[in-house]
Amino acid sequence: MNTIHNPREEYGKQLLTMCHANKNIVVLDADLCKSTMTCKVEEELPEQYFEMGIGEQNMMSVAAGLSLTGKIPFVNSFAIFLTSRAFDQIRQAICNASLNVRIIGSSSGLSDFGDGSSHQTVEDMAIMRALPNMTVIAPCDGIETRKATQAMVDYKGPVYMRTSRNDMQDLTTEESPFEIGEVYPLIKGTDITVFACGIMVSKAVEASKVLAKEGISVAVVNVPTIKPMKRDKIIALSRETSAVVTAEEHNIFGGLGAAIAEALREEKIQIGFVGIKDTFGVSSNEAEPLLEYYGITVEAIIAKVKAIINLK
Amino acid sequence: MKLNIKELERKAYVLRKNVINMIGIGHRGHYGGALSSAEIMTALYFYKMNHRPDNPKWEDRDRFVLSKGHSCPILYSALAESGYFNMEHLKTFKDLNSILQGHPDVLKTPGVEANTGSLGQGLSIGLGMALGLRLDKRDSKVYVIMGDGEMGEGQIWEAGIVAAHYKLNNLVAFLDHNKIQAMGFTKDRINVGSLAEKWKAFGWHTVEIDGNNMEEVVKVLDDADYITDKPVMVIAHTLKGKGISFTENTPAFHNNLMTEIQFEQALFEINQKIEA
């Protein structure tokens, strides 16, 4: 059964539920609440919602101040405006002091297909991952987005989660476990292991099914937490097949692929990257053609898997 | 027990003396902005703020954010004099493994309320604290000190708009208007124009005082308690490097080192003020 959820809607619903349950949660937004879906909190619990206007830098430091008074701030805008424009504020006051600020980057990756490069993030995971104390999450579907949102309430230290604007096919169920920092093998395989995050997990699963028909056994691992990464587990899963491909809707530099390669730095394992090849985004009137344009597709994963297996 | 004006005036010079000793001979330190804000810091820590040095995280305390983090020697001096940590720590300023970093760090120094150092962020952090305290229905106030060179940071003006929008009457900001920034006199580097007119236009209750006059500082702090619908901006006209003849109004002493002779001269001048 194929079911679909929209991650930003799931996030908004979960956030509202949490705000009802925990009065220490506060929500900040910079004039995009109907896009980030924090509007539900503004409508029902206005005392826990703070409109910050179009000023992301101030918003980020305000979140630091709220955290310093014991609140759990969820900071919202498009991923690009939070991670790039307010980078210094995240670094200086939040990560330096390891504050419990939750930064939710909406419309991340290429998911805001129409708005083009200025609104798309190819680098958010890379720059957030470089910050000491920061945790970086990229959920694979709407259900996991909801669970990750819940998991970060009591989590210690700053968290960045990138969320997708568009519907995502369910890969996990209500019963699937979720823990920040954990990795989840979805499909077993013996020839190669594909580590994927975000929208690329479902594409990896699809690629695995296609390749199975050709006699190639592909393991698929969902890596919702890019940092911290369980190195031992990544190594163990990689050794099972001795070949690795990573797949992400992000620059091939600095994101999931880089994190996996770093984890495997002492292993003799071939590794290939599927991702955006160090270039900025561009406008498209539809989501899928944009992913094809950048070569982050099921076909791209299949081709990379075959190329890496040939090197074994 | 609150100090009276005379005692506060003397205390400001004790804080200055600590700054001179803390930075010492031959080490660089931000003397200028630390010395210019000594009266404001003294009035906050030894007259106005409700705080408990033996319980730095006491929930009902007033908060202080040093937005111009480079002036931290005067903050460390006030914290040590208050009893947040042993005075002996002052000698370790900027040493490897010291609790006293080159810029304020909440994880390392008891009593420091926010990490600052990248200019322009402290007012926003104070704004967030003020919102959080109001949400909890606490009477605590948030005090922030900014620099005048810092007014070049755009984020300051974002915070100015938002704090006025939320009518944060529990937020009191001091603008240590010493008229000198790192590379020279502020009017020559980038002329910021009339700060009082700007902050009034942004919707803040704006007052101008002599920020090195203890009576005026104390009065403005008490008056701020009666402003009920706006955040308060105190434009405190001060003398950069105040208290030592060769650092006063001298751009070179924004961040500089003292020779042994200068160090002795500085202590001699400060001691005279303390003993007077």
Handedness of CA A46, A48, A52, A56 (dihedral sign): negative
CA distance B270 to B276: 10
Q: Is the pLDDT of residue B1 over 70?
A: no
Superfamily of structural domain A4-169: Thiamin diphosphate (ThDP)-binding fold, Pyr/PP domains (3.40.50.970)
Contact of A94 with A83, CB cutoff 8 Å: no
Please compute the mean of the pLDDT values over residues B194-208 and round it to a whole number: 98
Residue A2 pLDDT: 74
- Least CB–CB distance from B106: residue in A69, A73, A97: A97
Q: For residue B89, give how far its alpha carbon lies from the nearest alpha carbon of chain A (Å).
A: 21
Contact of B183 with B175, CB cutoff 8 Å: no
Chain B residue numbers touching A93 (CB-CB < 8 A) = 114-116, 121, 125
Domains in chain A: boundaries: 4-169, 184-311
User: Does A93 sit within 8 Å of B121, measured CB to CB?
Assistant: yes
Equal CATH topology for A4-169 and A184-311: yes
**What is the domain count for chain B?**
1
CATH number (domain holding residue B140):
3.40.50.970
Q: Is the pLDDT of residue B95 over 90?
A: yes
Q: Is the pLDDT of residue A132 over 60?
A: yes
B242-263 confidence digits (pLDDT tens)? 999 999 999 999 999 999 999 9
Which of the four pLDDT bands, split at 50, 70 and 90, describes residue A220? very high
Q: Parallel, antiparallel, or unpaired: how do β-strands B171-177 and B142-147 relate?
A: parallel
Q: Which of A92, A101, A131, A156 has the most B C-beta neighbours within 10 Å, making it the best mutation to test the interface with B?
A: A92
A16-48 confidence digits (pLDDT tens)? 999 999 999 999 999 999 999 999 999 999 999
Please compute the mean of the pLDDT values over residues A176-199 and round it to a whole number: 98
Q: Is the pLDDT of residue B274 over 60?
A: yes
The rounded percent of chain A whose pLDDT value lies above 90 is 99
Residue A1 pLDDT: 55
B170-188 confidence digits (pLDDT tens)? 999 999 999 999 999 999 9
CA distance A251 to B195: 44
Q: For residue A32, give how far its alpha carbon lies from the nearest alpha carbon of chain B (Å).
A: 16
CA distance A53 to A224: 31
B147 forms beta bridges with B176
User: Letter for the amino acid at B222?
Assistant: D
CA distance B103 to B85: 17
Which of the four pLDDT bands, split at 50, 70 and 90, describes residue A184? very high
Enter the CATH code of domain A184-311: 3.40.50.920
Backbone angles phi, psi at A135, to 5 degrees: -105, 140
Instruction: Name the residue among B72, B65, B28 with its Cα closest to residue B170.
Output: B65
Please compute the mean of the pLDDT values over residues B27-47 and round it to a whole number: 97
Q: Is the pLDDT of residue A68 over 90?
A: yes
Chain B residue numbers touching A61 (CB-CB < 8 A) = 121-122, 124-125, 127-128, 155, 159
B209 forms beta bridges with B236
End-to-end CA distance of chain B: 23
Q: For residue A71, give how far its alpha carbon lies from the nearest alpha carbon of chain B (Å).
A: 7
User: Does A65 sit within 8 Å of B124, measured CB to CB?
Assistant: yes
Boundaries of domain holding B188: 5-275
Contact of A34 with A80, CB cutoff 8 Å: no
User: Does B165 sit within 8 Å of A58, measured CB to CB?
Assistant: no
Chain B residue numbers touching A52 (CB-CB < 8 A) = 162
**Token pair for residue A240?**
């099972």
Strand, helix or coil for residue A110? coil
Can you give B195-214 as a three-state secondary structure string?
HHHHHHHCCCEEEEEECCCH
User: Complex ipTM, two decimals?
Assistant: 0.96
Which of the four pLDDT bands, split at 50, 70 and 90, describes residue A312? confident
Q: Is the pLDDT of residue B80 over 60?
A: yes
Contact of A158 with A126, CB cutoff 8 Å: no
What's this model's pTM, rounded to 2 decimal places?
A: 0.97
- Least CB–CB distance from B113: residue in A68, A89, A96: A68
User: Does A61 sit within 8 Å of B132, measured CB to CB?
Assistant: no
Chain A residue numbers touching B127 (CB-CB < 8 A) = 58, 61-62, 65
Q: For residue B84, give how far its alpha carbon lies from the nearest alpha carbon of chain A (Å).
A: 18
Active site residues of A: 56
Instruction: Render the burial of A200-217: b for 16+ CB within 10 Å, e for the rest.
Output: bbbbbbbbbeebeeeebe
User: Does A53 sit within 8 Å of B158, measured CB to CB?
Assistant: yes
